[in-house]
């Protein structure tokens, strides 16, 4: 068996991420929201520690969505017919994404609550 060059692993990973962006509406939504959060963080000058929390939350949501996409593709390949275990696998993976997204929203509330209050009070 011939080994692939090490740099190809990055290409395959990028192809996987692009596949998810191209085929999964929820991935596009997560990326769009992440970009909005990054712009908000830059605009509101959040602290370095807050950036750490925001970046971790964004990464967890994106990683969960990538795993969800992988599980869905594998299950569809293995079990094209409706099966209770296929449904359980897909639903569980989707549940992981939901949990990650709820965690990210909670982090967002903690990070952006005070800066938003300060911005709003400065406007009035």
Active site residues: 65
The three-state DSSP-derived secondary structure of the chain is CCCCCCHHHHHHHHHHHHHHHHHCHHHHHHHHHHHHHHHHHHHHCCCHHHHHHHHHHHHHHHHHHHHHHHHHHHHHHHCCCCCHHHHHHHHHHHHHHHHHHHHHHHHHHHHHHHHHHHHHHHHC
């Amino acid at each position: 068996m011939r080994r692939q060059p090490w740099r190809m692993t990055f290409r395959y990973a990028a192809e996987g991420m692009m596949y998810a962006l191209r085929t999964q509406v929820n991935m596009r939504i997560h990326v769009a929201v992440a970009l909005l959060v990054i712009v908000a963080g830059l605009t509101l000058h959040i602290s370095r520690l807050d950036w750490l929390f925001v970046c971790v939350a964004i990464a967890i949501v994106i990683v969960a969505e990538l795993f969800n996409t992988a599980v869905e593709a594998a299950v569809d390949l293995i079990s094209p017919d409706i099966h209770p275990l296929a449904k359980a696998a897909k639903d569980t993976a989707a549940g992981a994404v939901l949990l990650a997204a709820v965690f990210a929203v909670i982090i967002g509330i903690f990070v952006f609550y005070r800066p938003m209050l300060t911005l709003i009070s400065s406007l009035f």
